[in-house]
Structure formats: C-alpha cells, structure tokens
Chain A
Amino acid sequence: MMKSLFASTTALAVTLASVTTAFAECTNDTWNRIMSEGKITIGVKPDYKPWGFIDENGNLVGMEVDMAQEIADTLGVELELIATIGANRIPFLETGKIDMILATMSDRQDRREASGIALPNYYTSGTNIMAPKALGLTNWEDLRGKPVCGKQGAFYNKKATEAYGAELIAFGGAAEGKQALRDRKCVGFLSDDSSIVVDLQSGDWDDFEMPLPTEDDNPWALAVPLDEQACVFGRFMSGMQYNWLQSGRLIELEAIWGIQPSAFLVDQKERFKDWLE
C-alpha cells in the first residue's frame, strides 16, 4: 500500500516536473494571447485600501488599479480586473485565470519559484499591527498567547505565530480581519505598515495605533507567468517598473491616493536618475 502510494506520488511528480521544464525557450504564449485578443487580465486586491479596493459604485479602484490601467494603455489593449486575495493569487496565475499579479505581493524566495517575478521591485512595506491605544502594546513579545487577527495568505503570519507565539485568527480578507478587531475578538490586526498608516489616517480608527517596531521590511513585486519571466512579458514589465520609479510616477500616485510618501520611492527615483538630467 505504502509502496504503491510512493510510486504513484513519484509518477505524479515526474509528470508535473516535465511540464515545468519547458521554460528554457520563449514561446510567449500569454503575451501573444494578450496581443491577439486585445485584452489583459490582471489580478488586484479588492480589500486593500488604497492599493486595490471596491469603491461606493462597486468598481475596483486604487493605486495598483491605476498602474494596471497604465500597463493596458501602454500595451494598447483592454483591461480586465480580477479580484484576488493572498491565498489565491499565485494559483490564479498558474492556472491562467489571470495574466499577471499586481496585488500587494511581497517578494519572497518561494514566490519567485512559483511565479515570474519581474524586477525592479515597485514598492515596499514592513509588518506591524493595528492595535487599540488602550492596550499599550510596545513590542512583539506582548503578543504571545494572545489572539491576533490577520488575513489568510500573508507571508508574515508564519513568523507571528512561530516566533512570537501569537494565536492567529486568519480571515479570508482584510475587511473581515479588521471587523473582528473592531468587535474586540483580538488584540490587534496583523498587516503591513503602509496599509495600517492609511487606515489610521482615514479617521475610522481613532482609538487605534501602530505600536510595534516595524519588522521585515519587504519589497513588493508583480508577477507574470513563470515561464514568461525571462521573455517578452517579464522584460516588458521590468521596463514598466523602471519607468514608474524613474519618472516619479509612483510618487504622484501615492499622493493621489493619500498614502504617506515612502522613502523607498524617493530612493528609487534617485537610484534610477538619468545621468544627463
């Protein structure tokens, strides 16, 4: 029984591996389909104000949605947006439900193995919690053994539970997690610092603060299908990102969406400065 299980697992593994070894040459399948159909499908966050969220009219809007529109405009194709959450964005990309991910994704080693992350990184954020001022939390160890709300699919969940012993209650999206914090089901909401700052500024969270030292500053990345990372699609996205950073366009978008100016974007603008300017 065990032996046949081994045999079948190995057989399955071999089949899957042979499917993925084909990425040595560029077939540009996704790219060609986008161009021939005249439409690109981009996965964005529906619950991550102001990067990707649903406005009063039910439309997906936000900074990353604007970026997605610029990608489509540059390609000269129509834009279709698909809402994704942390736990399903890479499977969506792998199965072809979306052509690329532009959904506040932190750039991690294991994600580079599963999706075609195109550099340079366009944004960055660290991990922190939003917690009521009344509790007066000051460091990460304060979370040990306490219920902390979060969202499924975030890479920092692992560290919060394993290193700091927080009892994570992970919901499908940020909206449910924050509601649970408001309902006092947990002592804090685990998220990235940039989105917490936006929430705190919104005026809806006056009795809350971001009390801990920010940890694991981690750049964000967009991703194309893995086998097109070193092909036209991936190279094109690298160019888009270089241009966004070099021209200061992302700094403008930050201002439009009321995000606190991030030092990262200023540094990147300096880094990519044109030597003739």
Chain B
Amino acid sequence: MQEFFRELAETYPQMNFVFFYDPVQWQRVVDGFWMTVRLAVICIVFSVIIGVIGAFIQTSRIWALRLISQGYIQFFRNTPPMVQLLFFYFALGPYTPSYSPDGWLEVPIISNVGWAVISLSFFAGAFNVEIFRAGLESVPDSTSEAAEALGFNKLQIYSYITLPLAFRASLPALNANLINLAKTTTQAMVIAVPELFYQLVQIMSDFTTAQYPSMILMFVIYVGLVGLLASGMRVWERAMKIPGYGG
C-alpha cells in the first residue's frame, strides 16, 4: 500500500499522496481529522443548547430579556463567521485571564480552539434560536392553553409540551444549519486551529507536489463527514415523527 503511493509519486510527480506513506504527514491528517470531528460535535451540541434556551427567552414576558436575545441574534447572524473568529481571538482574547509559564508568554485560559468553539457555537446558535422560534409558532395556541389549564407552569409547558412538538417541526431547518456549521469549522483555520483544512494546507505548502492529492483527500473526507451527519439527522427526523402530526 505505502509502496504503491511511493511509486505513484515517482511516476507522476503531481500525484504525491505523501500522507499515505510518510508517517509524519499521516499523523497530521489524523490529528486534523479528529480536531475537525471534535470541533463539529462540540459546536453542534452547544449551538442546539443555545438555540433551545434562546427560543425560550424569546417567549419571555420581560422585554429586557427579549431585547438581549434579539441583540445577540442580530450580532451573530449579521457578521461573517470568519470576522467573528478573528474578533474573538485577537480583539477579545487579550482581555481574558491568562497565566505566564516563563515571564513572557501569556497563555490564555481560552485557547484558540476554545475561541473557535465559542464563536462557531454562538454563530450557529443564533440561527438555531430563530429556527426553534419558527417551530414554536407552528404549535397551536390551544395546545399550550390546554396545558396551562392542567396546571403546568411556563417552563413546564415549554419543556414538556411546546418544545418537543416544535422540535419536530424545526428538524429540517435545523439539519441544514448544523450541516452548514460542520462545514464552517474550516474557517477556524484563520486563528490557527489545527483542524483538517489547516493541516492539509500545511502539507500542501510543505510538499508542492502534494497539492492535488491533498485537495482530493480533503474533498473525500468532507463529503464523507457531512454525508454521515446529514444521514444521521435524517434517521433522527424519521424516528421522531409523530403519525398524523405535521409533514
């Protein structure tokens, strides 16, 4: 296997699949792959939590809370994720607590990976809030009125009655947003988060002859990863379906 790719690289210099025979480069691909997977999974989880909480706040009777939530949505929805990453890491980063191991370095408590998680989760979370809000609006008022009549309080109605129903209606839009989020993790490269795209760009520049192979590999991996996520979400969507309720 390694021999095959070594020979391929010698015969066709443009097809240097260096990562399939050089263990150092292979390690970079593996590290990048897991970083991408971790980043995507963590951001998906946080962004859904943010969406659920944000949608609840949107239904609040306190206008100040609604205003804060609106402000958050507008801020994160109307700025490009790459700008957010750079802003968080370079502009806010220096104001966060840090410790110094050698008198010069200031190792911030929040690493670049941490900022990527925060920034991307809030970015996708802002969309999720709106997605869940739309879902909540599809639940008939009479349903929550009935629950209120049975003695549920507002939080109980949200978590036991309206959210579970709204969730089903929101899933298609949520899928689209989460798939987008998984792809947006590549932008974490601008703050040097060593995810797959970053690692492959490094390989490309260390081995000029590995440009096409790196791009092919990148394409294959992202198609696979996003495909897996998309089909997983579809299975979930089917499993949650209530016969007779909605599409």
Chain A residues near B (Cβ < 8 Å): 6, 9-10, 12-14, 16-17, 20, 86-87, 90-91, 94, 108, 110-111, 113-114, 132, 134-135, 146-147, 152-155, 157-158, 162, 169-172, 176, 179-180, 183-187
Chain B residues near A (Cβ < 8 Å): 4, 8, 11-15, 17, 24, 86, 90, 93-94, 98, 100, 102-106, 108, 112, 189-192, 198, 201-202, 204-209, 211-212, 216
- A187 and B12 within 8 A (CB): no
Give chain B residues whose Cβ lies under 8 Å from the Cβ of A16: 12, 14-15, 212
- B211 and A184 within 8 A (CB): no
- B90 and A183 within 8 A (CB): yes
Considering the chains assembled together, what is the distance between the CA atoms of A14 and B189 in angstroms? Answer: 33
Give chain B residues whose Cβ lies under 8 Å from the Cβ of A111: 208
Considering the chains assembled together, what is the distance between the CA atoms of A198 and B204 in angstroms? Answer: 29
- Give 10 A-B pairs besides A13-B15, A154-B205, A170-B192 with Cβ atoms closer than 8 angstroms: A10-B8, A13-B11, A87-B205, A113-B13, A114-B208, A155-B205, A170-B198, A170-B202, A172-B190, A176-B90
- A184 and B24 within 8 A (CB): no
Chosen A-B contacts, 8 in total, with CB atoms closer than 8 Å, are: A13-B8, A13-B12, A134-B104, A146-B105, A152-B202, A155-B205, A169-B112, A185-B93
- B94 and A183 within 8 A (CB): yes
- B201 and A87 within 8 A (CB): yes
Give chain A residues whose Cβ lies under 8 Å from the Cβ of B100: 184
- A135 and B102 within 8 A (CB): yes
- Whole-angstrom distance between the Cβ of A68 and the nearest chain B Cβ: 23
Smallest CB gap from A91: residue in B: B211
Partner of A171, one of B4, B192, B205, B207: B192
Give chain A residues whose Cβ lies under 8 Å from the Cβ of B207: 110
Considering the chains assembled together, what is the distance between the CA atoms of A162 and B24 in angstroms? Answer: 9
- A12 and B106 within 8 A (CB): no
- B202 and A184 within 8 A (CB): no
Known: A113-B209, A158-B206. A183 touches B93 (CB 8 A): yes
Considering the chains assembled together, what is the distance between the CA atoms of A186 and B106 in angstroms? Answer: 8
Smallest CB gap from A131: residue in B: B104
Give chain B residues whose Cβ lies under 8 Å from the Cβ of A94: 211
- A114 and B12 within 8 A (CB): no
- B105 and A147 within 8 A (CB): yes
Give chain A residues whose Cβ lies under 8 Å from the Cβ of B13: 113
Give chain B residues whose Cβ lies under 8 Å from the Cβ of A154: 205
- Greatest chain A CB density within 10 A among B103, B106, B205, B207 is at B205
Give chain A residues whose Cβ lies under 8 Å from the Cβ of B12: 13-14, 16-17
Considering the chains assembled together, what is the distance between the CA atoms of A86 and B208 in angstroms? Answer: 11
Give chain B residues whose Cβ lies under 8 Å from the Cβ of A180: 90, 192
Give chain A residues whose Cβ lies under 8 Å from the Cβ of B17: 9
- B105 and A114 within 8 A (CB): no
Considering the chains assembled together, what is the distance between the CA atoms of A208 and B120 in angstroms? Answer: 34
- A183 and B8 within 8 A (CB): no
Smallest CB gap from B13: residue in A: A113
Give chain B residues whose Cβ lies under 8 Å from the Cβ of A162: 24
Partner of B106, one of A13, A152, A185: A185
Give chain B residues whose Cβ lies under 8 Å from the Cβ of A13: 8, 11-12, 14-15
- A134 and B103 within 8 A (CB): yes
Partner of A157, one of B102, B198, B206, B211: B206
Give chain A residues whose Cβ lies under 8 Å from the Cβ of B112: 169
- Whole-angstrom distance between the Cβ of B96 and the nearest chain A Cβ: 11
- B205 and A86 within 8 A (CB): yes
Considering the chains assembled together, what is the distance between the CA atoms of A16 and B24 in angstroms? Answer: 26
- B205 and A184 within 8 A (CB): no
- Whole-angstrom distance between the Cβ of A147 and the nearest chain B Cβ: 7
- Whole-angstrom distance between the Cβ of B99 and the nearest chain A Cβ: 11
The 6 A-B residue pairs with the shortest CB-CB distance, nearest first, are A153-B205, A184-B106, A13-B15, A13-B12, A110-B208, A114-B208
Smallest CB gap from B112: residue in A: A169
- A9 and B205 within 8 A (CB): no
Give chain B residues whose Cβ lies under 8 Å from the Cβ of A169: 112, 192
- A9 and B8 within 8 A (CB): yes
Considering the chains assembled together, what is the distance between the CA atoms of A114 and B210 in angstroms? Answer: 10
- Whole-angstrom distance between the Cβ of A236 and the nearest chain B Cβ: 24
- Whole-angstrom distance between the Cβ of A87 and the nearest chain B Cβ: 5
- Greatest chain B CB density within 10 A among A86, A170, A187 is at A170
Considering the chains assembled together, what is the distance between the CA atoms of A95 and B205 in angstroms? Answer: 16
- A6 and B4 within 8 A (CB): yes
Smallest CB gap from A152: residue in B: B201
